[in-house]
Structure 1
Amino acid sequence: MSRSVLLAGGLVSLLVLGTTVAEAQTISLPLPPDAKTVIDKPTATASAAELAAVAHELRKRYPGPHDDHVIVVDIRQQRLYLLHDGRLQASYPVSTSQWGIGNREGSNRTPVGVFRIAQKFGQGAAPGSIFKSRRDTGQIARIITNPENRSERDLVTSRVMWLTGLQPGFNEGGDVDTHSRYIYIHGTPEEGRIGMPSSHGCVRMKNDEVIALFNRVPVGTLVYIAPGDRPLTDIPNRL
Structure 2
Amino acid sequence: MTITPRLADLPPRQGTWLEIDLGAQSLTVWEADERRETFAISSGARGIGQQEGSGQTPVGWHYVRAAIGDGLPRGSVFRGRRPTGEVFSPDLARQYPERDWILTRILWLCGLERGVNRGGDVDSQRRYIYLHGTPDDQPMGVPASHGCIRLRDAALLSVFAAAPPGTPVWLHD
Normalising TM by the smaller chain, what interval? 0.7 to 0.9
Q: Percent identity over the alignment?
A: 38
8 Å contact kept, 2:27–2:39: yes
1:105 — aligned with what? 52
Q: Do residues 202 (structure 1) and 148 (structure 2) align? A: yes
8 Å contact kept, 1:118–1:219: yes
Q: Distance in 2 between matches of 1:137 and 1:58?
A: 41
**Which of 96, 105, 122 is matched with 2:43 structurally?**
96
> 1:211 Cα shift?
1.0
8 Å contact kept, 2:12–2:32: no
Aligned pair in 2 of structure 1 residues 184, 58: CA closer, same or farther (>3 Å)?
A: farther
> 1:153 Cα shift?
1.5
1:184 — aligned with what? 130
Aligned pair in 2 of structure 1 residues 103, 190: CA closer, same or farther (>3 Å)?
A: farther
Q: Distance in 2 between matches of 1:101 and 1:58?
A: 26
8 Å contact kept, 1:183–1:202: yes
Aligned pair in 2 of structure 1 residues 131, 58: CA closer, same or farther (>3 Å)?
A: farther
- The one-letter code of the counterpart of 1:98 is A
Per the alignment, in what secondary structure is the counterpart of residue 179 of structure 1? coil
- The one-letter code of the counterpart of 1:57 is P
Aligned pairs for 1:148-163 within 5 A:
152-163=98-109
> 1:138 Cα shift?
1.7
> 1:68 Cα shift?
0.8
Show structure 1 runs of 5+ residues with no match: 1-49, 60-66, 144-150, 228-239
Q: Distance in 2 between matches of 1:75 and 1:214?
A: 19
Alpha-carbon RMSD across the aligned residues, in angstroms, is 1.7
Per the alignment, in what secondary structure is the counterpart of residue 178 of structure 1? coil
1:57 — aligned with what? 11
8 Å contact kept, 1:191–1:205: no
8 Å contact kept, 1:184–1:203: yes
> 1:191 Cα shift?
4.3
8 Å contact kept, 2:107–2:131: yes
> How many residues align structurally?
162
Runs of 4+ more than 6 Å apart: none
Per the alignment, in what secondary structure is the counterpart of residue 11 of structure 2? helix
Q: Distance in 2 between matches of 1:192 and 1:109?
A: 18
Deviations 1:76-108 (CA, angstroms, capped at 9, x unpaired): 110000001221110000000010001010000
8 Å contact kept, 1:155–1:188: yes
Deviations 1:145-194 (CA, angstroms, capped at 9, x unpaired): xxxxxx52111100000000010001100000000000000001154401
Q: Distance in 2 between matches of 1:71 and 1:191?
A: 25
Query: Greater share of strand residues, 1 or 2?
Result: 2
**Which of 127, 134, 137 is matched with 2:74 structurally?**
127
8 Å contact kept, 1:117–1:161: yes
8 Å contact kept, 1:188–1:204: yes
The structure with more radius of gyration: 1
